[in-house]
Chains A and B, each alone.
Chain A
Amino acid sequence: MTQRVRFKNLERFGFGPNVMKKLRVCSRCGQIVRSRAKTCFDCGERLPKETLFDRYKRKHLKCQNCDTVLTADSLYCSNCGNLLIKGEKTI
C-alpha cells in the first residue's frame, strides 16, 4: 500500500497526518477549529496559525534535506537516505 493510500485510509477514520493538517485548537477554550477562521467562534480568542500538524512537526526530528518527520533513533533519513546531523534538531 502506498503512503498516500495509507494516509487516506487513516483519514477516513479520523486519524493521521491529513487530519492533523486540518485542525487548529483555540488556546483559550480548547475548541477544535476546522475552518480558516481567524477567531474562535466559541470564545472570540484569536486563533493560532499553527495546525496540529505544525505542532507535531516541531516536536520531532526532521530530515534537513527533505523535511520528512523521523523517529528519534534515526541516523539516516528513511525517505532520502540523508545522513542526519544530530544535536542540530531543525525547527
Chain B
Amino acid sequence: MTESRTAKYKVITDDVGYRFIFYCDISDAHVCTTSRIYHGNSEKEALLVAWQTEGREHFNRCHKCGRWVIDAVYNAEVLECVECAPYEAEPKYCKNCGTKIEGYFKICSCCGKKLIYEGSAASNDTKGSV
C-alpha cells in the first residue's frame, strides 16, 4: 500500500512560521485550515506536527490505497475510499456467475465466490483484526 503521510495540503508561509490547509484526497474538499502557526526546522517537520495536531482527526485513511478522505467519500463498511470500494447493493444475483440469490448469503452456492466485497483486510482472512 502506498500510504501518503498527510492529505493534500497547501502551505501559507510567513516570517513567523507555517499554516496549513488540508484537502480531501478524492473530493478536493477543503477540510481544515490550521488555527495555529507551526514552527520547525523545515516545512516538512512543521507539516507533520500540524497534521498530527489538527489535520488527521478530520480524515479517514483508505486501507487499500492509503489516501486520506472525508466521511462522504469513505466506505465505512469496508474501511476503504469509495473509489477503491463502491457501495454494493444487497446481491440479488452473483456478480461472478449470474446465479439468482434467494435469501441472505455471503458466498455463492453455485461458484463459491464471495457475493460482496468485504474489504482488503477481509480478503486475506484477517477479518476482525482491523
Residues of A within 8 A of B (CB): 2-3, 6-7, 10, 13-17, 19-20, 23, 25, 27, 29-32, 52, 55-56, 59-60, 68-71, 73-81, 83
Contacts and interface: CB of A to CB of B under 8 A. Distances in A.
Contacts of B96: 73-76
A71 B95 contact: yes
B28 interface: yes
Interface residues on B, range: 20 to 34
A27 B96 CA distance: 38
A81 B93 CA distance: 5
Interface stretch (B11-19, B48-56, B79-87): B79-87
Nearest to A60: B86
B73 interface: yes
B29 A80 contact: no
B30 interface: yes
B122 interface: no
